Amino acid sequence: MPFGYEKFRLKNGISPNTVVHEVQLIEHLLASVSRYHNGPIEPHEIRPSDIQRFFKEQRDKGLKDNTINRKLVFVRKWFDYMWQIGKIPVDFMPKFKLPEKLDLTPSEIDLDYKELLGRQEEILQSDKLALYAKILFLLYMRGLRVRDMTAIDISRVEDFGYKLRLTVDKKDGYTRPLDFMGSEIPIIQKGIDLAHERGTPFLLASKVKDNYTEFQMGSLSDYTDALAELLGRPIRSGDIRFAYVRHLYAEEGKNVEEIQEALGITLESAARILKEALTRVRPKKK
């Protein structure tokens, strides 16, 4: 809405979800500045001090540095657009600095992959957990990112008898083989059967207006909450992903190339993730 920004962003292929947040932030900013000046303000009248004040307000609300940083980026982006379309004569945002430096260092991950693995059987056999919760657990444990879980195609399954292989086409174009063995097989098989029954190609599906579509993000918490309760710890794909990579390296002795292969990512990504995994993940010491 702010001066055609929404359309502009959408036209540039930015996902609607993101645009909504960007626009919202800009609207908040404009409202805040106008409130302070006791009346509507034109974009070219906005001063760096207005931005400073806005972010002080944001900070006082208790927002984390990362959020501040992200919002700062949104504001920058909008100013650049406003400058491009000639609505403001000068764009001061590239030089804009907040009074305090933002702390963007990621937190430590307190997670022992081996311990989690030790509880897998309990999860798979639990009669308290829905099928999807069990399938999700298996996917999480393989270090999948959620966005790669939501559209797993069951037609890409191979049955080797002793193992079931699902080939996942990831959103970034790479593919990722997932092998399931032993007691994992009946769980995945049930998921595949259910998908067939529902007439959908997705291992995990959601019903939207009487049609089964790819899994909806919002349903995720139903299952991860149940898992979290049983395990007594939150289930976050990022954390488990890092713990998994650390496990592959430190416990299974895999090298970077093998990790790259296992995750279906580039070598650079594998190296970076491994580095971060080794610095951030703290498995329990007994």
Partner DNA sequence: AGTACACGGGAAGGTCACGA
Partner DNA sequence: TCGTGACCTTCCCGTGTACT
Query: Residues in the site for DNA, rule: CB under 7 A?
Result: 13-15, 17-18, 21, 24, 63-64, 66-67, 70, 73, 76-77, 104, 106-107, 130, 145-148, 150, 172, 206-209, 216-222, 224-225, 234-239, 241, 265-266, 269, 272-273, 276
Tokens describing residue 157: 């399954």
Min separation Cβ 73 and DNA, Å: 5
Min separation Cβ 256 and DNA, Å: 13
Nearer to DNA, 63 or 124 (CB): 63
Min separation Cβ 66 and DNA, Å: 4
Min separation Cβ 156 and DNA, Å: 19
Min separation Cβ 76 and DNA, Å: 6
125: phi then psi, degrees, rounded to nearest 5 = -90, -10
Nearer to DNA, 45 or 225 (CB): 225
Min separation Cβ 253 and DNA, Å: 22
Nearer to DNA, 134 or 164 (CB): 134
Nearer to DNA, 181 or 208 (CB): 208
Nearer to DNA, 85 or 217 (CB): 217
The answer to whether 189 and 164 have CB atoms below 8 angstroms apart is: yes
Min separation Cβ 57 and DNA, Å: 12
Nearer to DNA, 199 or 218 (CB): 218
Nearer to DNA, 180 or 202 (CB): 202
Task: Write the secondary structure of the chain as one string of H (helix), E (strand) and C (coil).
Answer: CHHHHHHHHHHCCCCHHHHHHHHHHHHHHHHHHHHHCCCCCCHHHCCHHHHHHHHHHHHHCCCCHHHHHHHHHHHHHHHHHHHHCCCCCCCCHHHCCCCCCCCCCCCCECCCHHHHHHCHHHHHHCCCCCHHHHHHHHHHHCCCCHHHHCCCEHHHEEECCCEEEEEEECCCCCEEEEEEECCHHHHHHHHHHHHHHHCCCECCEEEECCEEEECCHHHHHHHHHHHHHHHCCCCCHHHHHHHHHHHHHHCCCCCHHHHHHHHCCCHHHHHHHHHHHHHHECCCCC
267: phi then psi, degrees, rounded to nearest 5 = -65, -40
Tokens describing residue 167: 């080939």
